[in-house]
Amino acid sequence: MRKIFVAFVCSALWTIQPAVSSFAQPPESLSELKATSIDGQTKRFGQFYLVPDVDVASDGFGGYFYSYKDKRGNKTTTNSIDSLPKGLLMAGKPVQVAFNDAATEVPVRVAESRTSQHEVSEPSAHDESGEFEGEIYDPIEPVNRAFFYFNDKLYFWVLKPIAKGYGKVFPEPLRVSVRNFFHNIFMPVRAVNCLLQGKIKGFGTEITRFVVNSTMGVCGFGDAAKTAFDIDKRDEDFGQTLGFYGLGPGIYINWPLLGPSNIRDTVGIVGDGFLNPVNYVEPFKYSLAIKGYDQVNRTSLSLGQYEALKKAAFDPYISLREAYYENRCYKIRK
């Protein structure tokens, strides 16, 4: 187990290493920024990085306004990226600039990217909150798609029928209580990760919730902390902790059984495993059975969600991948 953990950490560090080093050093000149196109149809977007001092706001027509303080301290706003002082282009808020050339590995020059930006990204997302979408790195897509297919069948053929039958036998309030019970015993995962991120208040919240729910909530089956004292639950895990400290997701992995993940969050799952009390249940088969039961119980409460995603999607694999990525970003920001 420990060996696997070390191997995961090493591979994760290896994967994110280039990303970290490129963040640490601003590009020497703009021509160093590259954009690649995978084939004639699919283009990867080049990204510019701006220092946090530059505020980026959409102009509502797909372009952006960049405002910054100049040397005299006056607030200056411009709508073209190449009139920004060069020192402002480095690590920081990424700005997506569409690149529209079929050739591979073409250096993006600012002037070019500006014109292509107008051509392509006209309807790009309007966003003041800095929620710029990134590109998901998915080099093992064929493997991921195979596992996606596997998980899909597993859900419809095994998990869903079991969860449905289970849900017919046990009424919903009972299943909610069981979910609360599991949530309660996973407290160490959330509490420790709050602490690791310096969220002292969150740590206190989790401890308080655990004490209140284990006593007043009868072994955690009820959420007395919420109903009686209005203490909201926190959602932290080790993957979020790593993300909190700036670790990128690495490559996207769609694990069999576990579903969507990435290098960072996989390391997170392994790390959190040490804090999960269920993993210390002996023998191993009991621990596995408990986890399986938790999964069935949770599935019985969320039947129909995956079906809805699939029904609305044109490419369910991409839809799930994007949804996972955006949700993780959201949780890390929180």
- Closest alpha carbon to 110 in 121, 99, 122: 99
Radius of gyration of the chain (CA): 23
Q: What share of the chain is helix, strand, coil (3-state, %, to 5)?
A: 55, 10, 35
- Alpha-carbon distance of 167 to 175, in angstroms, equals 8
**Between vectors from CA 273 to CA 206 and to CA 264, what angle results, nearest 5°?**
95
**Out of 40, 87, 283, 304, the residue judged to bind other proteins by CB under 8 A:** 304
Q: Give the number of residues in contact with other proteins, rule: CB under 8 A.
A: 44
The reply to whether 152 sits near other proteins by the rule CB under 8 A is no
Name the one range near other proteins by CB under 8 A: 54-62, 162-170, 248-256, 279-287: 54-62
Minimum distance from residue 284 beta carbon to other proteins (Å): 31
Minimum distance from residue 114 beta carbon to other proteins (Å): 16
The reply to whether 102 sits near other proteins by the rule CB under 8 A is no
Minimum distance from residue 133 beta carbon to other proteins (Å): 6
Binding mask 178-197 for other proteins (x = CB under 8 A): -x------------------
Minimum distance from residue 59 beta carbon to other proteins (Å): 7
HSE-CB for 255 with a 13 A CA cutoff: 12
Task: List CB contacts of 230: < 8 A, sequence separation 6 or more.
Answer: none
- Alpha-carbon distance of 217 to 237, in angstroms, equals 23
Residue whose pair of structure tokens reads 């195979």 in the numeric block: 146
Binding mask 126-145 for other proteins (x = CB under 8 A): x-xx---x------------
Q: Which helix (H) or strand (E) holds 239?
A: helix 238-244
Asked if residue 223 lies in contact with residue 231, where contact means CB atoms within 8 angstroms, the answer is: no
Q: Is the peptide bond before 283 cis (omega within 30 degrees of 0)?
A: yes
**Out of 42, 169, 280, 283, the residue judged to bind other proteins by CB under 8 A:** 42
The reply to whether 119 sits near other proteins by the rule CB under 8 A is yes
Between 160 and 226, whose beta carbon lies closer to other proteins?
Answer: 226
Name the one range near other proteins by CB under 8 A: 149-157, 186-194, 284-292, 308-316: 308-316
Between 49 and 317, whose beta carbon lies closer to other proteins?
Answer: 317
**Out of 228, 232, 257, 286, the residue judged to bind other proteins by CB under 8 A:** 232
Name the one range near other proteins by CB under 8 A: 73-81, 124-132, 189-197, 200-208: 124-132
- Alpha-carbon distance of 22 to 65, in angstroms, equals 25
The reply to whether 101 sits near other proteins by the rule CB under 8 A is no
Q: Which helix (H) or strand (E) holds 213?
A: helix 200-215
The reply to whether 60 sits near other proteins by the rule CB under 8 A is yes
The reply to whether 229 sits near other proteins by the rule CB under 8 A is no
The reply to whether 123 sits near other proteins by the rule CB under 8 A is yes
Question: 326-330 contacts: CB < 8 A, separation 24 or more?
Answer: 326/133, 328/239, 328/240, 328/243, 328/249, 328/262, 328/265, 329/131, 329/134, 329/243
Name the one range near other proteins by CB under 8 A: 53-61, 71-79, 87-95, 208-216: 53-61
The reply to whether 98 sits near other proteins by the rule CB under 8 A is yes
Name the one range near other proteins by CB under 8 A: 46-54, 78-86, 212-220, 320-328: 320-328
- Closest alpha carbon to 133 in 141, 125, 122: 125
> Contact positions toward other proteins, by CB under 8 A?
41-42, 57-60, 98, 100, 119-126, 128-129, 133, 172, 176, 179, 223, 226, 232, 301, 304, 308, 311-315, 318-319, 321-323, 326-327, 329-331, 333
